[in-house]
Amino acid sequence: MSRPQIRTLFASGILSACISAHVNAMNYGIYDTRGLAMGGTAVAAGNWHSAQYYNAALLAFHDEHEEDSRDGRVALPNIVAQTDNAVEDIVNAADDELDQQLTNDINAFNGDPSAENAGAVAETSRQLESLLGDLVNENLSTEAFAGFSITEPSMLEGGAFYFGVRALTFGDSNVPQADIDLLESYVSALETVAGGGDLSAIPPELLDVDGNLIDPTLQLNSSADLSALTISEWAVAMAKQIDFFGQELAFGLTPKVMRVDVFRETTEFQGEDINFEDSQKTYINLNADVGLAFQLFDNYRIGLAVKDVVPEKFTTANGLELQLKPRPRMGLAYVNEWLTVGMDVDLAENEPIANEGPTQDASFGLEVSPFRSLNLRLGYRQDMTGVREDVLAGGVAYQFKRIYFELSYARSDLSTGAGLQFGWTF
């Protein structure tokens, strides 16, 4: 594209899962529908089917052999996505092609400077001004995970395999006040003409030497620095339980092969179409998650887990350095056959992987199982740094014979999340 377009500046980043701002540090992560529905509470309150993502030690809290229990599970697909509500507005604006529409309205007015055409220019300018105004201080983030897993708990031990891709997005946008002021001057002048005013109401700086209205999209200087980190993991989780003074102590380890793809692009309002492949760099490395879980008096649990124990640094082709650091989390829970109540807390701030802000989550989760085949879930998540809005969540899981499905939904004042999982037991 040789001319400025809203979709170039913003939508390309969204469609590539690459728009965010200063709030999306690498958090502990939510990887399944149960975790999303319970606010991310899973280090102690997790079950056998999700332990591989949060705390592998929980796989060992099982008292039957696998051939007797049939508690093994295959999850395919497993999809969780979370995004800011403002993203939908940007996508809609990109679909409307406001910049192209404004250019067309300008051309129509220059051909016929009627009140009707003046009104069209004013209205489109106002819509474009409103969009840019909303983005000046708007923090946008997008996070998604998709994959599949196989879990097999057994007598005092357990194992699991999963493959998944996590996409994290972040960046900086720059919308100068001058761009908003320029569009406001078009709105003011053309509304006057549309209301019956004389063409002399149009300021001379908005006209070219021939007296034609200048296309403002050619003068806008808004830009965005778009970056993304996608992590593909092939992981095997294993756990073992031992007796500790009459109580149950379990250890978990999840070694994994990671493919990390990093991207960075800067686009201007008058720039060409974005090509993230030009900045892509790929890294292959080994890492691991570790976990510990202590079960007291059959129902009380304490969990401690660390994601990505080996710190890593990655650099895009055009110089942005991204960091992946260990992320410790602690959980407490009460668990019985029909009720699970838990709380998780990040033990330290999750430091930025680029130049966004830190986060530190605390979450509370509740699961009620009125029937063996039905689970109802609620959750709450709070960022203790105060950067992100509090999140409320809920979900349901249902199993019919050996087939099961799970749905979850989460929402804050500024964001929305949803999850879907389908699979079967064996």
Q: Which domains does the chain have, with CATH numbers?
A: 6-114+122-143+154-185+217-425 (2.40.160.40)
pLDDT above 50: residue 399: yes
Percent of the chain residues past pLDDT 70, beyond the cut: 85
How many Cα atoms sit within 13 Å of 224 on the Cβ side? 31
Does 414 have pLDDT greater than 80? yes
Lookup: tokens for 305: 């887990």
For the segment 136-163, the average pLDDT, to the nearest whole number, is 89
pTM (predicted TM-score): 0.82
Tens digit of each residue's pLDDT (9 = 90 or more) over 287-338: 999 999 999 999 999 999 999 999 998 887 777 777 888 999 999 999 999 9
Task: Indicate if the pLDDT at residue 228 is higher than 90.
Answer: no
Rounded to the nearest 5°, which phi and psi values hold at 32? -155, 170
Per-residue model confidence (pLDDT) at position 96: 65
Q: How far is CA 289 from the centre of its chain?
A: 21
Asked whether the predicted pLDDT for residue 390 surpasses 60, the reply is yes
- pLDDT band (50, 70, 90) for residue 387: confident
Please, what sign has the CA dihedral across residues 352, 388, 180, 92? Answer: positive
Instruction: Give the pLDDT mean for 225-235.
Output: 87
- What is the identity of the amino acid at 417? G
pLDDT score of 266 more than 90: no
